[in-house]
Structure 1
Amino acid sequence: MRAGTGALSGLLSAGAALAVAELGAAFVRPEAGPLTAVGGAVIDRTPPAVKDWAVREFGTDDKLMLQAGILVLLALIALGLGGLALRLRRTAMAGVFAFGLLGAFAARHRAGAGYVDVLPSLLGGVAGAAALWWLTRPVVAVRARDRAFDRRAFLIAAGTVAAGSVVAGTAGRLIGNGRRASIAAFRNRIRLPAPAEPAPPLPAGVDLRLAGLSSFTTSNSDFYRVDTALVVPRVDVENWSLRIHGKGVRTPLTFSYHDLLRRPLIERDLTLTCVSNEVGGPYTGTARWLGVRLADLLREAGVRPPSRGGPADQLVSRSTDGMTIGTPVEVVMDGRDALLAIGMNGEPLPFEHGYPVRMVVPGLYGYVSACKWLKDLELTTFADYDAYWVKRTWSQQAPIKTQSRIDTPKPFARLRIGTPVPIAGIAWAQHRGVSAVEVAVDGGPWQPARLAEVPSTDTWRQWVWEWTPSTPGSHRIEVRATDAGGAVQTDKRVGTVPDGATGRHSVVVTVT
């Protein structure tokens, strides 16, 4: 009985600590909550191979799995501290408060954090230690006096702690939801201006409209999301600004959200790709982006590219969640449609994709170009500063590699002998363009696929090849693409680290 009481006391104390801490975070900022702060610290220290495995195995649920793992570990430790409290009460209470200190340390050392960020975890630690003292008091008291266990006193204490935790947690959730709802309502009222340079109409035949084939334009809800934010930032644009400063900047500039809306906007169809995308993977998508030309803003600030004598070769973008991304200055000023995007597929940026402002640079993997929730642009050099992922063994510069993917048929599909079947998919080589796609069956000769039209070299391209299987059994279908410069997609298989995966995608089907 006493062992079970101790374990339950530990769990209830941990629940009280989290509830009070999350209530405090609702008044400070969501990123100051202990789960978010500790989870962010874990992500920051996760080796790239483990991070890639998590993205590959759990996809966009990787952050949910991390938080679940932290909660499970916390529960196990709480069970142990609860048992310890029956023998070494003060030591166990110190252990509970130590976790508050850990959360405070993690919150304080997150990028952009202030001293106030330590308060939620410290308050949670105090509340958890106090709850453990109260919950174990009946057990310790009766043991000291050699009396029967006072079940009623324990149940009163447990019920009070549980109820208080529910009230605190619910209050924190309601306060946080209210703030998020207010920001969401403001976003929904935004009416984006008409672009000064609209995107050219999509050419006829840009979408082959085949069952199982990715559509040319990816909807906002289906667009991939890969980032390190455990809590999606909800930025209040009334208090938001973007600063451009640093080496070679003659005139530092600061823009509000409304300043950007009043500037000439351009609209472009662009494909983004994540460096975590394995061969044949899902982390690529095409959207119609609306934004300001980044090169125009840099020129207004007096920035010159290195090829014209500028002292800075790296543009470091900083996010409100602390992410830093380094982009070659030469690339964003070479004439391509590098944007500070404010719109995506006809609406303000979704929160998950960078509202209010993000960077979009065609031809570069996202980790060196696509900073979301943008707040700061600093001109510096690659020699002087390593951005977030570069510190974690990824390359400083990472142009997107030529890749192709088979969308249909799916792996292990069963096909009928003598029945024509479309082999179809997408290929991409942003800012170079795809000039050819070929398909081979069972290592046989390469067959040219029919290519869909494209609006520019900065988007992916659909392709299709019709195959009539004539032999029963298992068959391997492989695809390769050629970019506009004549370079053929390599068959050498390498992983995503340090600058993107290579190799050719294939699927195995069964013909009966």
Structure 2
Amino acid sequence: MSSQPTTASTTRHPTLSAAGVGLVSAAAFLGIAEFGALLLGGAGSPLVAVGSAVIDLAPAGAKDLMVALFGTGDKVALFALMTVIVAAVSAGAGVLERARPPFGALVFAAGGVLALLAVTTRSGSGTLDGAPTVVGVAAAIIVLRLLLQRLRRWEAAAQVPSAAPRPASTERRAFLVWGVATAAVAVVVGGASRLGSSAMQAAAAARRAIRLPAAATAAPAVPAGASLDVDGISPYITPNADFYRIDTALRVPNVDPADWSLRIHGAVEREVTLTWDELLALPLEEHVATLSCVSNEVGGDLIGTARWLGYPIRELLARARPTGDADMVLSRSIDGFSAGTPLDVLQDDGTAALLAVGMNGEPLPTEHGFPVRMVVPGLYGYVSATKWVTELEVTRFADAQGYWTPRGWSERGPVKLESRIDTPRAGSTVTAGKAVAIAGVAWQPHTGVKGVQVRVDGGDWQQATLADSASADTWRQWVLRWTPDSGSHRIEVRATSADGEVQTSVERPPAPNGATGWHTVEVSAR
């Protein structure tokens, strides 16, 4: 009497094995495609192109939701979501190919077509940028077919051992070795390609070699009284590493300054082109300014203050001499982002709108726009703070729109008067009967803040002590000393601008032009 041989548990779950084949095939696609993108100098990455397309096509409010949920980790969250979706589709394709070939291969082909469309329609895409995607899809289909072939051999050997040319254990080993080896090679090649981009290395080396010139016009010294000695309060100057980053670039553009230039054109008497060396040769100015994102919720941290070095944009516009009824400058980034900024703001002698090259005493960090970005105090970044900027088109609001305007955001974005409680934190516990510092920051860049009031448990508003500031373009720290009784307490804050406006209590979301309302925290005293 013969007995049936026992086999590994995987053969009892062929669907799971086929799903694994689909995942390995997807890894092969990404690995080969990213390696191809590396050979093209970093262009043509389907992963980045598809992610960017998702951002571009997302409905109004989706950006706000992602930022509200994940803050500056929104891009990581998007990549994670894409990974889950790609893994699910790829696993399904593996199962489908095993059951009904060639439908699984057709799923990969369809995905490749979508990725190819995303790559070839990106701003600045070249003739060969689609090649990595095409080669990657071909590699995925080949891996899918070969691994499923080995899976079928294993299954056949397990079911009919007497007719199998090789034992089931041998076929199993061959399947697993080929699958694991292919996945490992794909991950290593893909990961190394992402890290080893020649454009990234060239830009990083160029940045390290730069020695920025001293400012011809230095910013006023930050007053000693601009920083309060309060634990937990935001520093007056935000370190570069802590400065918020919100933009549409899934892959940070790596621009060699030697290849950078700025073109000013459109409704101008004279088109102007400026190179990196020409920009650094100009009399640069230094200015301390606070920037904030329109997606910042009341009490949020998408705001920071830095010392910026650059050249006044108004001087460059004066060279170009805008004509006619132009009222907007459409700035464009090397990655296709655009922002529409009021022309009169950029021409205003009292607005320190800079074409910035430096941040807190060093060249701009790559993720903050290296080599050149725009800094415009008083306007939200979505209408002014174009990073990796390469173009200024003088035009009209009636004729052109920035990236976010057709997606439901206002075409003009002056920063709202706001204040924030940094300490004590919401939900924290303080000591009853002991003096506590209620402290934070308040801002309305370009206008300035002249007062901050705090109230506890709906009582009378009390004047907080304001710190000094370098200019009206920066936030101001404030503090109020308070001795709490035992129990729960509700703390609210509001600010008054230099022109007498009192911060509104009306609660509005960030869309379409900035959140409003009083920041409120609840704490317990014991």
Same fold (TM over 0.5): yes
Unpaired segments of 5 or more residues in structure 1?
305-309
Q: For residues 510 and 171 of structure 1, do their structure 2 counterparts lie closer, same or farther at Cα, with a shift above 3 Å needed?
A: closer
CA contact (8 A) 2:415 2:445 kept: yes
Structure 1 residue aligned with 2:100: 88
Whether the 8 Å contact between 2:456 and 2:492 is mirrored in structure 1 is yes
The residue correspondences of 1:479-498 to structure 2 (distance < 5 A) are: 479-498=493-512
3-state SS, counterpart of residue 496 of structure 1: coil
Does the 8 Å CA contact 2:469/2:476 hold for their aligned counterparts?
yes
1:272 is paired with a residue of what secondary structure?
strand
The one-letter amino acid paired with 1:100 is G
- 8 Å CA contact retained: 1:426, 1:461: yes
Correspondence list, 1:87-166, <5 A: 87-140=99-152, 148=164, 150-155=171-176, 157-159=178-180, 161-166=182-187
Q: Is the 8 A contact 2:330 2:401 kept in 1?
A: no
Point out the more displaced range, 411-420 or 67-76: 411-420
* Whole-angstrom CA distance in 1 between matches of 2:291 and 2:481: 28
CA deviation map 1:299-325 (0-9, x unaligned): 011126xxxxx4211101111111011
* Kept in 2: contact 1:100–1:126 (CA 8 A): no
Q: How does 1:159-174 map to 2 (within 5 A)?
A: 159=180, 161-166=182-187, 168-169=189-190, 172-173=193-194
| Structure 1 match to 2:204 | 184
Report the alpha carbon displacement of residue 142 of structure 1 after superposing the two structures with TM: 8.0
Structure 2 partner of 1:477: 491
| One of 319, 334, 338 as aligned partner of 1:324 | 338
SS at match of 1:396: coil
Quote the residue 1:347 is aligned against: 362
276, 288, 300: which one aligns with 1:269? 288
Distance (whole Å) between structure 2 residues aligned to residue 476 and residue 167 of structure 1: 53
SS at match of 2:513: coil
Q: Which residue of 1 aligns with 2:55?
A: 43
Partner AA of 1:331 in structure 2: V
CA distance in 1, matches of 2:156, 2:266: 67
- SS at structure 1 position matched to 2:490: strand
- The aligned amino acid for 1:355 is F
Alignment CA distance shift 1:210-1:142 (3 Å): closer
Find the residue that maps to 2:102 and give its secondary structure. Answer: helix
The equivalent residue for 2:392 is: 377
User: Which residue does the alignment assign to 2:228?
Assistant: 208
SS of the aligned residue for 2:129 comes to helix
1:11 equivalent in alignment to 2:20:
no
Which position in structure 2 is the counterpart of 1:307?
none
CA contact (8 A) 2:328 2:397 kept: yes
In structure 2, runs of 5+ residues without a counterpart are: 1-10
Give the corresponding residue for 1:78.
90
Deviation of 1:185 after TM superposition, in Å, equals 1.9
Residues in 2 aligned to 1:496 and 1:167: alpha-carbon distance in whole angstroms: 41
Q: Please state if 1:235 is matched with 2:247.
A: no
Deviations 1:170-219 (A, max 9, x none): 5524641x542332122111111111110011223111121111111111
**1:222-371, aligned counterparts within 5 Å?**
222-247=242-267, 249-303=268-322, 310-335=324-349, 336-371=351-386
Equivalent position amino acid for 1:91 in 2 = F
* AA of the residue aligned to 2:307: R
Alpha carbon RMSD of aligned pairs, Å?
1.8
Amino acid at match of 1:503: G
Opposite residue 151 of structure 1, the aligned amino acid is R
Local SS of the residue matching 1:419? coil
CA contact (8 A) 2:154 2:172 kept: no
Q: Deviations over 1:334-366 (max 9, x none)?
A: 111100000000000000110000000010000
Q: Distance in 2 between matches of 1:300 and 1:427?
A: 37
Q: 1:474 to 1:160 in 2, by over 3 A?
A: closer
Q: For residues 270 and 418 of structure 1, what CA distance do their matches in structure 2 show?
A: 39
Deviation of 1:160 after TM superposition, in Å, equals: 5.1
Instruction: State the match for 1:69 in structure 2.
Output: 81
